[in-house]
């Protein structure tokens, strides 16, 4: 009670100061630093940091580290430049960008916790074993894993989906390099395409939805273009898939632990809650996701109390199984990815505050026009991760129609499939299928993937008229 009274007192004391600070900040204007030494050094820091991000697999340096450092250095330089102008303007800009990140952070944390819980309950292991047991041919498995990746990624996100499907082809392929390489390329393309037509499928679509630029159900207008993006290269690559059956699986069969399917249902209920909060109550989707986290917490409590948290696996083990622990699932979230998003949002926000994004907006959307500029955004996302590219576009806020906003959502999502380093799914699979799925192995099929990229843009513009 003492702590509660103390917190309320501090909040009441802070309110007048916040109000006064807000009024003061509103009167301050940003200054153009694009030609200033601070701006030039900040740009150099950004480029250097992103070189380290691209070389993550070579250097074995996690991608969050360079962008976290870059974010701190850039905003420190901005603060130095504003010492004689207005430090309140810098503080206001930082708080604005940090709020953008906070909403994204908690949304993703809930989604990752659910996915980790589903993995821990053995749902995806059972799916993998079912595919292996049903005697799919190499070509049949190629198509089935691709189609599953396309339809699972709108819910489970493209990175998680790619990792799951890769585990399937690695298990079934058992060293068949050609099959594993082409199947991994197909999975990356399918997962990225599937994530492009759902707010939950990719970070870029999530950012666009949370900004309120595109309504939830409007994203599904991208379903056909996304399907074209997946099907064209898949059809071309399928001719290179070897014939015959993969070797039979002689391993133990995994089974779903108690509550696994119920948690899948709770995840769907959580997504429905987030959508309903946004659509009907006009609340940010993150509040619906946090409410959905309470569903999982209460169900985890039920599993522990009812004694249903012991696994029903046929695989013998000498180690006692741990009971379901929601906080352990939170701990297994992809923290490197979450910190990477923080660094990206703060770095790009800093460059925008300096004035570089306005210059880029004029150069791209003013000179090239929205359609060509949005196609270029997709090509950029093949080299630079699509998250900073999309955040930059959202920060620019170009005056575009809904058709064009859908186009840039599509291109930013599927453009990363052009190169193996262009998406989180591709980078992750290069590590998981090391020696089988490589940068140059993916590059070999660039023309087919580019044909799908062009086809998806054409179909989208055709449908939208």
The answer, as to whether pTM is greater than 0.75, is no
Q: With a cut of 80, say whether residue 83 has pLDDT above it.
A: yes
pLDDT of residue 306: 77
195 domain-assigned:
yes
Residue with tokens 């505050």: 353
Give the 3-state secondary structure of the chain. Answer: CHHHHHHHHHHHHHHHHHHHHHHHHHCCCCCCCCCCHHHHHHHHHHHHHHHHHHCHHHHCCCCHHHHHHHHHHHHHHHHHHCCCCCHHHHHHHHHHHHHHHHHHHHHHHHHHHHHHHHHHCCHHHHHHHHHHHCCCCHHHHHHHHHHHHHHHHHHHCHHHHHHHHHHHHHHHHCCCHHHHHHHHHHHHHHHHHHHCCCCCCCHHHHHHHHCCCCCHHHHHHHHHHHHHHHHHHHHHHHCCCCCCCCCCCCCCCCCCCCCHHHHHHHHHHHHHHHHHHHHHCCCCHHHHHHHHHHHHHHHHHHHHHHCCCCCCCCCCCCCCCCCCCHHHHHHCCCHHHHHHHHHHHHHHHHHHHHCHHHHHHHHHHHHHCHHHHHHHHHHHCCCCCHHHHHHHHHHHCCCCCHHHHHHHHHHHHHHHHHCHHHCHHHHHHHHHCCCCCCHHHHHCCHHHHHHHHHHHHHHHHHHHC
Number of neighbouring beta carbons within 10 Å of residue 303: 21
Residue 297 — very low, low, confident or very high, per pLDDT cuts 50/70/90?
very high
137 domain-assigned:
yes
84 domain-assigned:
no
Q: What does the pLDDT look like over 138-151, one tens digit per residue? A: 888 899 899 999 99
Q: With a cut of 60, say whether residue 275 has pLDDT above it.
A: yes
Tokens, residue 82 = 């504003």
Q: In sequence order, which residues have a C-beta less than 8 Å from that of residue 118 and are 6 or more positions away?
A: 124, 260, 263, 264, 267
Q: With a cut of 90, say whether residue 127 has pLDDT above it.
A: no
Q: What does the pLDDT look like over 176-191, one tens digit per residue? A: 788 889 999 999 999 9
**Average pLDDT score over the chain:** 80
Q: What integer is the mean pLDDT of 117-130?
A: 79
> What is the length of the chain?
465
Q: With a cut of 80, say whether residue 194 has pLDDT above it.
A: yes
pLDDT of residue 6: 40
The answer to whether 33 and 81 are in contact (CB under 8 A) is: yes
Q: What integer is the mean pLDDT of 346-368?
A: 81
136 domain-assigned:
yes
pLDDT of residue 8: 34
pLDDT of residue 146: 93
Helix axes 123-133, 138-156, angle to 10 degrees: 160
Residue 170 — very low, low, confident or very high, per pLDDT cuts 50/70/90?
confident
Distance (Å, whole) CA 141 – CA 134: 10
87 domain-assigned:
no
Tokens, residue 2 = 């003492």
395 domain-assigned:
yes
pLDDT of residue 26: 36
For the chain, how many structural domains are there in total? 1
Number of neighbouring beta carbons within 10 Å of residue 432: 15
Q: With a cut of 80, say whether residue 460 has pLDDT above it.
A: yes
433 domain-assigned:
yes
Tokens, residue 69 = 């450092």
209 domain-assigned:
yes
Structural domain that includes position 260: 100-244+252-311+323-464
């Amino acid at each position: 009670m003492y702590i509660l009274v103390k917190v309320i007192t501090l909040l009441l004391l802070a309110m007048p100061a916040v109000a006064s600070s807000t009024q003061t900040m509103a009167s301050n204007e940003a200054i153009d630093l694009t030609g200033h030494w601070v701006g030039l050094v900040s740009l150099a820091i950004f480029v250097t940091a992103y070189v380290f991000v691209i070389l993550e697999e070579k250097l074995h340096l996690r991608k969050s580290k360079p962008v976290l450092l870059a974010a701190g250095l850039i905003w420190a330089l901005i603060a130095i430049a504003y010492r004689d102008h207005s430090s309140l303007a810098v503080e206001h800009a930082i708080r604005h960008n940090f709020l953008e990140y906070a909403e994204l952070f908690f949304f993703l944390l809930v989604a990752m916790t659910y996915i980790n819980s589903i993995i821990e309950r053995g749902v995806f292991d059972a799916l993998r074993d079912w595919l292996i047991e049903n005697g799919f041919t190499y070509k049949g498995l190629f198509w089935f894993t691709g189609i599953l990746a396309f339809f699972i990624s709108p819910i489970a996100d493209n990175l998680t989906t790619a990792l799951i499907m890769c585990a399937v082809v690695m298990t079934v392929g058992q060293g068949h390099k050609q099959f594993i390489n082409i199947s991994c390329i197909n999975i990356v393309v399918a997962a990225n395409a599937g994530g492009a037509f759902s707010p939950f499928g990719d970070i870029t679509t999530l950012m666009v939805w949370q900004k309120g630029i595109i309504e939830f159900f409007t994203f599904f207008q991208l379903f056909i273009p996304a399907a074209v993006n997946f099907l064209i290269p898949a059809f071309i690559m399928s001719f290179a898939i070897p014939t015959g059956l993969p070797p039979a699986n002689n391993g133990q069969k995994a089974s779903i632990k108690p509550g696994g399917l119920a948690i899948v249902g709770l995840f769907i209920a959580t997504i429905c809650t987030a959508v309903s909060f946004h659509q009907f109550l006009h609340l940010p989707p993150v509040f619906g996701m946090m409410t959905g986290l309470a569903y999982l917490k209460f169900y985890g409590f039920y599993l522990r109390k009812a004694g249903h948290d012991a696994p029903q696996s046929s695989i013998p083990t000498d180690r006692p199984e741990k009971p379901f622990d929601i906080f352990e699932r939170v701990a297994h979230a992809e923290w490197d990815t979450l910190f990477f998003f923080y660094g990206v949002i703060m770095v790009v926000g800093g460059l925008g505050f300096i004035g570089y994004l306005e210059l880029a907006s004029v150069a791209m959307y003013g000179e090239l026009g929205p359609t060509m500029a949005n196609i270029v955004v997709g090509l950029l996302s093949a080299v630079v991760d699509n998250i900073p590219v999309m955040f930059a576009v959202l920060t620019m806020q170009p005056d575009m129609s809904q058709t064009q906003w859908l186009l840039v959502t599509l291109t930013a999502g599927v453009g990363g499939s052009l190169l193996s380093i262009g998406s989180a799914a591709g980078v992750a699979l290069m590590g998981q299928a090391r020696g089988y799925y490589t940068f140059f192995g993916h590059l070999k099929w660039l023309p087919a993937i580019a044909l799908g990229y062009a086809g998806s843009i054409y179909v989208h513009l055709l449908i939208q008229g």
